[in-house]
Amino acid sequence: MEEIQFDISRKVYSQEQFDKEYRYEKPVKTWRSFLEGHISKFNFWEQSKIWFPFLDWIPKYRANCLIPDILAGFTVAIMNVPQAMAYGSLASLPPVIGLYTSFLPSLLYAFFGTCMHTSMGMFALAALMVGNVVNREIPHETIANLTEDTPLADRPDVQLVVTLTFLVGCVMVVMCLLQIHVFASYLSDSLISGFTTAAGIHVLLSQIPLLLGLTGIKERSGFLKVYYTLYDIFSHISRTNLAVLVLSGICVIALYIGKNYMNPEIKKRLCSLPVPLELITVVITTVLSQFCHFESKYNMVIVDKIETG
């Protein structure tokens, strides 16, 4: 087969030489043309679904999911009540603040969130960090001198936490604008596991004095906090309130047996809904505290009245 050869002779241009020879001029974009281009592409409905995500998922919601979602909501809400009050106390705040913090973010995220798997509300580590700030910045005597009639808005600890929350929100907005989340991809599994374990140790140590009914233990912060806290616990161990210790042990054992043995059997044989053991425990101990006078007879520290909101 005869080969066919092509001989092409032409001048080779760079982009700059080409533009210069053929007198190309880059079009000048005015604000008017810029706005017209964007306005012509603007879709109000699609943009509204970005601003308000519930406009996107509500029309797609399946009716057969309504009853299971309601049951799931009731289950989580029931378990959230004692947990939220506990986190409020862990943050050195009135327990009702824990209820507000669990309720409001979840309600807002249901309409403005974009991920159905995100867990909203308080968690132990954040509550502990907030509690450290409150204990460091506000003297214990200031909190002790407050009366039950003091409005929440006038409490110095609540005012401090509101300011702290606002500042944290500002920092998170800046981090969002700078796309700082990309650095999370570089965090190793070992780092995450170590951080989680250390956080669990701090939370556990913060609760041991309460489980033993120890009083007079000051809040520690800073370097070697764990060792100082352990020293304080063992140096005050002789002051353990036996009534508090017995009640704490009964509650912990009951919750452990219920969650690991009772609930799985109930799900298998009766219904798929878990028994709200945390709420039942809170109700029973509250009734016993009221009629057995735990505070006056056994010198137990109780939550006392919770403001309605």
pLDDT digit string, tens, across residues 97-124: 888 888 888 888 888 888 777 777 777 7
pLDDT at 37: 64
Confidence of residue 2 (pLDDT cuts 50, 70, 90): low
Confidence of residue 33 (pLDDT cuts 50, 70, 90): low
Highest mean pLDDT among 97-101, 179-183, 191-195, 247-251: 247-251
- Confidence (pLDDT) at 70: 86
Average pLDDT over residues 286-306: 83
**pLDDT at site 153:** 82
- Given a cut of 90, whether residue 170 has pLDDT beyond it is yes
Report the number of distinct structural domains present in the chain: 2
Does residue 35 fall inside a structural domain? Answer: yes
Length of the chain: 309
Assigned domain for 267 exists:
yes
Task: State the average pLDDT over residues 139-165.
Answer: 84
Query: 34 pLDDT exceeds 60?
Result: yes
Mean pLDDT of 27-38: 68
In a domain, 100, yes or no: no
**Stretch 18-30: mean pLDDT:** 77
258: in domain? yes
Q: What is the mean pLDDT of the chain?
A: 82
If one compares 266 and 250, the residue with the highest pLDDT of the two is 250
Residue 56 included in any domain: no
pLDDT at 38 > cutoff 70 = no
Average pLDDT over residues 271-300: 83
Mean pLDDT of 194-207: 85
Determine the pLDDT at residue 105.
84
pLDDT at site 277: 83
pLDDT-derived band of residue 249, with 50, 70 and 90 as boundaries?
very high
| Domain containing residue 263 | 241-309
Percentage of the chain beyond pLDDT 70 is 94
CA–CA separation, 95 vs 156, rounded Å?
Answer: 15
- Predicted local distance difference test score (pLDDT) of residue 58: 85
Give the confidence band of 31 by pLDDT, cuts at 50, 70, 90. Answer: low
Q: Is 88 inside a domain boundary?
A: no
Evaluate whether residue 167 is within a structural domain: no
| Cα–Cα dist 277/233, whole Å | 29
The predicted pLDDT at position 164 comes to: 93
Say if 293 falls within a structural domain: yes
Amino acid of residue 46: E
